[in-house]
Amino acid sequence: MERKKSYIEDVERGIYDIVDQEKHAYIVDKGLTEEIITEISQVKNEPQWMLDFRLKCLKIYKSMPVPMWSADLSELDIENIVHYVKPDAKQSHTWDDVPDYIKNTFERLGIPQAERESLAGVGAQYDSEVIYHSMSEHLARQGVIYMDIDKALIEYEDIIKEYFMTLITPHDHKFAALHGAVWSGGSYVYVPEGVQVDLPLQSYFRLNAKGAGQFEHTLIIVEKGASLHFIEGCSAPKYSVQNLHAGAVELFIREGAKLRYSTIENWSRNMYNLNTKRALVDAHGTIEWISGSFGSKVSMLYPMSILQGAHAKSEFTGVTFASTGQYLDTGMKVIHAAPYTNSTVHAKSISKNGGYAYYRSLLRVLESAHNCKSTVNCESLMLDNFSKSDTLPIIELFNDQVDIGHEAKIGRISDDAIFYMMSRGISEEEAKAMVVRGFVEPISKELPLEYAVELNNLITMELEGTIG
Amino acid sequence: MLLNIKNLVATVEDTEILKGVDLTVGLGEVHVIMGPNGAGKSTLANVLMGHPKYQVKDGAVEFNGEDLLDMDVDERAKKGIFMSFQHPQEIPGVALANFIRTAKREITEQKVNLLEFSKELVSKLNQLNMKQEYMDRSLNQGFSGGEKKKSEIVQMAMLKPKLAILDETDSGLDIDAIKVVYEEIQNMAQKDNSIILITHYSRILDFVKPDAIHVLKDGKIVATGDRSLADRIEAEGYDIFN
Ligand SMILES: Nc1ncnc2c1ncn2[C@@H]1O[C@H](COP(=O)(O)OP(=O)(O)OP(=O)(O)O)[C@@H](O)[C@H]1O
Ligand SMILES: [Mg+2]
């Protein structure tokens, strides 16, 4: 609408931006050398094979070029990132034992409350280490394991050795190699055959230290016929220097098992979010991705489902919101590697105030994957004339017995729609917010209530920068 | 005087559409505007509501003694103006009930009691032969032409404006719905609210007794009269106003 406009450069992110005074037990020097890697591994008392693996990853990392096909990463200066910051807190199983300043941060983010009300287990990571972990008794009795992965490396060394970075290998891309070299923290979940985990488990990753990186590793195995809903939350306060997030998520879904993996990421505007997520799904298994990408300076995030068993299924639902100075390159990859596999993608992006939302996807159907079905639906909404949106769907078919539906829509918020709503007494700001909330409604209604509310709150926060 | 339009000149993308419109509407009055396609009837309605696409080049509009043209669109609605659109917008993901409730809250600047609100809305939908399910459907999305018009009437009935501008609300409505629209108009007029009815059909005059009938042609009011004016147009068309 034509009229005076005022733009605010950055959003007021409220609770997410509150910075704790830095108190760490241990911090390594900036940059990346064999000495630093060795130091991280020694501080953690890791087995020799893990140190060897880290050093191998470092070599691969150094040998690989910075990817050039997407975001401009030239400003990202790895030598200036601190790769390991150990918080000054031992891991606790009750919030009472967590130092107050860290506990308060998680209180503000609503984690302990959610734990009391709607979760079966919680892991909370602060900078490089998990400082809190707990799970309900009855899950433990059924053999469910939910613990921080550094601890799992000691207690379940064989399993970790068997699975760790086999789905995402250090050769995949430069930041996967970086992750392998400097990873720290994250969660390990094991759900035994046939066990249905009724309430979700949630891990929350908070990066507080300035100029640091967070490289958590999540490894989940859901055995035959079992089911789990896992929620990952991430945030960091705002700094003027770069932070880097390069986590890795490896999910193994066995025959007939089901995993829903939900993420709401809300990074500050100085963050490079270069995360890698992958799921391997056996016959009749299901992976459901729910993904909300907010904040960050640059995001490159494309969860991948590999459907390796017949009738395996992947569903992806995602929202991306890009505002001033943000380049969010998100999407989904699906590999159909078995017959009768099924995938759906439902992606929405919003761009505002010059933000750039890029949707990029890959659909690959292998020769063996006859009679598979794929439905892709992506929609972009631009809130003004100087925001940008693109879509690049790549489809590679190696057999023609497939049923593929693809729909992509890019649109701008219409002046007529806003006028219509304002003609009923609704302010321009509220009208835009309603249109945006309506746009993501098909996604928010899929979320558990608390997360639908969080999604709506984040959208409101993002929108508050535009005043007509 | 509720509405006082003086010499209103308006353009869209540098084309002059309204070329000096004069019109006054008193409290509780019903005014009918007729005119050929492209005459500027919808333009007039949109300019009164404040669509940003139109530029006012000359003239003045007073509403309740205040300068209307100076107000934002939502402010005009809060002052009591309502426009029923010739082509209502579809808003995906915004439920009809939720939309009207938000609008009502904004206009009345008061919390809206959910129970009372829902009861009233259901009864309005019933009157128009619309199923209760429409409350939860996305605003106008996938509605048939007639259903969109009904949605406008429901919104009007719930928001209770001082001045309703109905732009061809009767086009595309079935006869039962048209009767409800006219009842609603009578109700409003009895409560001292005013109506501007833009229409192509003089059958409306079998139900509503307007205070005046105006002919808008080529951006100007070229004639004002009573029922006999409508009958003449019916018989001879708009060429008589050359
Ligand atoms: N962007 C534009 N540029 C130029 N002319 C326009 C533009 N938009 C509308 N017009 C013209 O303005 C004129 C008036 O349109 P308006 O919609 O007000 O007519 P109307 O009287 O409501 O007609 P109808 O009875 O068909 O609804 C039309 O001739 C239309 O083509
Ligand atoms: Mg018209």
Q: Are residues A197 and A55 in the same domain?
A: yes
Q: Residue A220 forms beta bridges with which residues?
A: A189, A251
Which is nearest to B165 in space by CA: B185, B148, B151?
A: B185
In a domain, A238, yes or no: yes
Kindly list the averaged pLDDT for each block of 10 residues, start to end, along chain B of length 242: 96 96 96 96 98 97 96 98 97 96 95 95 93 94 94 96 96 88 87 94 85 96 94 91 84
Confidence check: pLDDT of A5 > 50: no
Residues from chain A contacting residue B103 (CB–CB below 8 Å): 424-426
In a domain, A414, yes or no: no
In this predicted structure, what is the pLDDT of residue B208?
85
Q: Are residues A443 and A297 in the same domain?
A: no
Q: Could you give the ipTM of this predicted complex?
A: 0.97
Query: Last residue of a domain, which of A240, A267, A301?
Result: A301
Cβ of A435 and B138 within 8 Å? Answer: no
E-state strands within B53-190: 54-63, 66-67, 81-84, 91-95, 138-139, 163-167
- Candidate from B33, B41, B55, B199 with most ligand 1 atoms within 8 A of CB, to mutate: B41
Give the SS3 label for residue A276: strand
Distance CA B39, CA B36 (A): 6
Q: Which two tokens stand for residue B172?
A: 């595309």
Give the SS3 label for residue B32: strand
User: Residue A410 burial by CB count (10 A; 0-12/13-18/19+): exposed, middle or buried?
Assistant: middle
In a domain, A205, yes or no: yes
Terminal CA-to-CA distance of chain A, rounded, Å?
7
User: Residue A354 burial by CB count (10 A; 0-12/13-18/19+): exposed, middle or buried?
Assistant: middle
In a domain, A270, yes or no: yes
Mutate to test the interface with A, among B84, B94, B136, B151 (most CBs of A within 10 A): B94
DSSP one-letter string for A221-244? EE-TT-EEEEEEEEE----SS-EE
Residue type, A462: E
In this predicted structure, what is the pLDDT of residue A465?
56
Q: Whose CA is nearest to atom 10 of ligand 1?
A: B12
Mark out chain B residues that contact chain A at CB-CB < 8 A: 49-53, 72-74, 76-78, 82-83, 85, 88-94, 99-100, 102-103, 106-107, 138, 155, 159
Distance CA B166, CA B105 (A): 22
Q: Whose CA is nearest to atom 26 of ligand 1?
A: B37
Domain total in chain A? 2
* Smallest Cα distance from B134 to chain A, Å: 16
CB proximity list for B224: less than 8 A, separation 6 or greater: B212, B213, B214, B215
Query: Last residue of a domain, which of A284, A301, A318?
Result: A301
User: Residue A138 burial by CB count (10 A; 0-12/13-18/19+): exposed, middle or buried?
Assistant: exposed
User: What is the Å distance from ligand 2's center to B36 Cα?
Assistant: 9
In this predicted structure, what is the pLDDT of residue B21?
98
Q: Are residues A96 and A224 in the same domain?
A: yes
Decide: A64 and A174 in contact? Cβ < 8 Å: yes
Distance CA B230, CA B197 (A): 13
User: Residue A74 burial by CB count (10 A; 0-12/13-18/19+): exposed, middle or buried?
Assistant: exposed
Ligand 1 nearest-atom number relative to CA B36: 25
Let me know the angle formed at the C-alpha of B196 by B191 and B198, rounded to the nearest 5 degrees. 140
Residues from chain A contacting residue B53 (CB–CB below 8 Å): 415
Query: CA dihedral defined by B25, B31, B32, B35, rounded to 10 degrees?
Result: -20
Helix (H) or strand (E) holding A38: helix A34-43
In a domain, A320, yes or no: no
Mean pLDDT of A114-130: 85
Residues from chain B contacting residue A441 (CB–CB below 8 Å): 92-94
Q: Return the minimum-mean-pLDDT range out of A10-24, A60-74, A449-463.
A: A10-24
Cβ of B102 and A417 within 8 Å? Answer: no
Query: Tell me: the pLDDT tens digits for B61-88?
Result: 999 999 999 999 999 999 999 999 999 9
Decide: A227 and A189 in contact? Cβ < 8 Å: no
Query: Tell me: the pLDDT tens digits for A365-412?
Result: 999 999 999 999 999 999 988 999 999 989 999 998 999 998 989 999
In a domain, A394, yes or no: no
Q: Residue A363 forms beta bridges with which residues?
A: A334, A395
Q: Which two tokens stand for residue A347?
A: 């992606």
Distance CA A282, CA A309 (A): 4
Distance CA A206, CA A106 (A): 9
User: What is the Å distance from ligand 2's center to B198 Cα?
Assistant: 8
In this predicted structure, what is the pLDDT of residue A3?
37
* Smallest Cα distance from B241 to chain A, Å: 33
What are the CA-CA distances from residue A125 to residues A128, A218, A243, A415 (Å)? 7, 12, 16, 44
Domain that holds residue A464: 420-468
In a domain, A431, yes or no: yes
User: Residue B99 burial by CB count (10 A; 0-12/13-18/19+): exposed, middle or buried?
Assistant: buried
DSSP one-letter string for A403-436? EEEEEEEEEEPPHHHHHHHHTTT--HHHHHHHHH
Query: Last residue of a domain, which of A278, A301, A324?
Result: A301
Let me know the angle formed at the C-alpha of A424 by A422 and A427, rounded to the nearest 5 degrees. 35
Helix (H) or strand (E) holding B48: helix B41-49
Q: Give the position of tokens 């704790």.
A: A20
Distance CA A234, CA A16 (A): 10
Q: Give the position of tokens 């050039």.
A: A68
Cβ of B91 and A434 within 8 Å? Answer: yes
Q: Which two tokens stand for residue A404?
A: 């593929």
Give the SS3 label for residue A314: strand
Confidence check: pLDDT of A418 > 90: yes
In a domain, A322, yes or no: no
Query: Tell me: the pLDDT tens digits for A314-339?
Result: 999 999 999 988 999 999 999 999 99
Query: Tell me: the pLDDT tens digits for B45-64?
Result: 999 999 999 999 999 999 99
